[in-house]
Structure 1
Amino acid sequence: MSNNAHEILRSSYDLTLSKELIAAYEEAKRNFYLGGHRLSAVEGGRFCEAAYRLLESLTKGSFTPIGDSLNTEKVTKDLAALKAADYSKSIRVYIPRALRVVYDIRNSRDAAHLADGIDPNVQDATLVVSVIDWVMAEFIRMSGIETPDNIQALINGLVTRKIPVIQEFGSFPKVLRADLKASEMALILLYHCGARGARSSELTEWVPKQMRNNLRRTLRTLESKALVHQVNQTTIITYAGQKAVEEKGLLDP
């Protein structure tokens, strides 16, 4: 998650709960993309516990202390009983119901058992990360401390796949593999950037020095294969480019 998203959550909501929410979210996503699907679902449950408490804090000014048993059924009923004039439907209904799905997967499906010999962990983890993406985006959207355009950009970035092969140092995304061709390096960076794409100047800064001189030619070749789309000075990965990154196994460090 970007540093801006961190700052928005910490500035808008209880600091302790924001830290818990962010930590569980990032660990769930990291486990998912590294193939730790059971652990991703477990962290999804931890995310839910922080999110339920955050909703308590928003509506009551207090929350169930961390470490104490959380009565999620009561929290959900209390939220549903709030006046529509006072709180959005997202707070009263949508977020609690979404959290319930993830929480039940962690608790009822046990995130470890086989069902009729078929391992449900992949499908469960896929649902979990999609839901927590949506919930996190809702919290950012509801913060109201940024311009609509900035909020939209943060949300778009949030629900774009983040990949373990990239480690961010501030605003610099470092690719953690030295065995890649220039085209693969560019695709990974563009995959990371998602729908916003990357400017030519950014890509030039991010790729290794030995790849910079021929970067424009590399991008033109990728565009000729419909793997990227270039508009003005910005390059955006296409669906075909995303599929190529995934099928080549370029996501893991």
Structure 2
Amino acid sequence: MTPFVEIERGLKNSFDGKLVDELLAAYNEAKRNFYLGGLRLSAVEGGRFCEAAFRMLEQAMSGSFTPIGTQLRTEKIITALAQSTQLSESVRIHIPRALRVVYDIRNKRDTAHLGDGIDPNEQDATFVSSTLDWILAEFVRLHHGVSANQAQRIIGNLVARRAPTVEDFAGFLKVLRTDLQVSDRILLLLYERGAERASFEQLSSWVHPKMRRNLRRTLDQLEHDRAFIHSEAAAFQITKSGIQEVERKKLHDALQA
């Protein structure tokens, strides 16, 4: 079962299916836009995520929610949640306050509407992205019966870092930068894979044909000499050091000639 399906099934046991679909679709789109540099769109989707999340909190509190397409009265929802004695502190206080901040950024920082001329920036988008991670992890923790650390791992597996310099063709990963050496290509491919490991056969098919002859030696060096990757059960995964190397060298950042 993929992390997405695991989260989807768990949440749909407690919440309206359409709300869960909307929440996860907005989350995925916000994260995708963030990693691709779409700062404005990331914040807009963050607002869409909040609207679904507020309705889910309504449902947790009263069993019903404001219909999709009807304007939310967020202040009324926040006040009612704070006064509830039947819900956890996270549902009553922490999640609503986090949602409110993201919602305000969407509505008041010139992201979803023309306003005071303030342009969205990386600071706002980074905050929105991280806050959505935390909120979704809280929903997972509360409705999957797992610890906070387990919830974060599930979320981390759902949306890992994504590299605009790698394009996915129905499971075939193609590195779009032609200037990279084999070691950097391997790191970039595993960076794109995130928690989903890649087999030797997959990596061999994804690199340039001329790079395949010495691929095992390159993998061995990356694992044992640099500690940039880890292998287990004939599959490879990038390490924290490998992620830092990709981001330090900006291998993932933008297409270069």
Q: TM-score range by the shorter chain?
A: 0.7 to 0.9
TM-score (norm 2): 0.78
Number of paired residues?
242
Counterpart selection for 1:65 from 67, 80, 84: 67
CA contact (8 A) 2:56 2:65 kept: yes
Partner of residue 107, structure 1: 107
Partner of residue 244, structure 1: 245
Residue segments in structure 1 that go unaligned for 5+ positions in a row: none
Partner amino acid, structure 2, of 1:132: L
Counterpart selection for 2:40 from 38, 41, 44: 38
Matches of 1:4 and 1:181, distance apart in 2: 37
What percent identity do the matched residue pairs reach? Answer: 47
Q: Give the C-alpha shift of residue 225 in structure 1.
A: 5.8
Q: Give the C-alpha shift of residue 145 in structure 1.
A: 6.5
Partner of residue 203, structure 2: 207
TM-score (norm 1): 0.79
Partner amino acid, structure 2, of 1:45: G
Partner of residue 125, structure 2: 125
CA contact (8 A) 1:8 1:145 kept: no
CA contact (8 A) 2:27 2:132 kept: yes
The aligned runs of 1:64-213 (5 Å cut-off) are 64-83=66-85, 86-111=86-111, 115=118, 119-144=119-144, 151=151, 153-158=153-158, 160-164=160-164, 165=166, 167=168, 172=171, 174-175=173-174, 177=176, 179=178, 181-194=181-194, 196=195, 198=197, 202-209=198-205, 210=209
Q: Give the C-alpha shift of residue 98 in structure 1.
A: 0.6
CA contact (8 A) 1:37 1:121 kept: yes
- Aligned partner of residue 199 in structure 2, secondary structure: helix
Matches of 1:223 and 1:110, distance apart in 2: 46
The aligned runs of 1:15-54 (5 Å cut-off) are 15-54=17-56
Structure 1 residues 92-136: Cα deviation after superposition (integer angstroms, max 9, x where no partner): 111101111101111122237655xxx552110110000011111
Q: CA RMSD for the aligned pairs?
A: 3.2
Partner amino acid, structure 2, of 1:204: F
Q: Give the C-alpha shift of residue 236 in structure 1.
A: 4.4
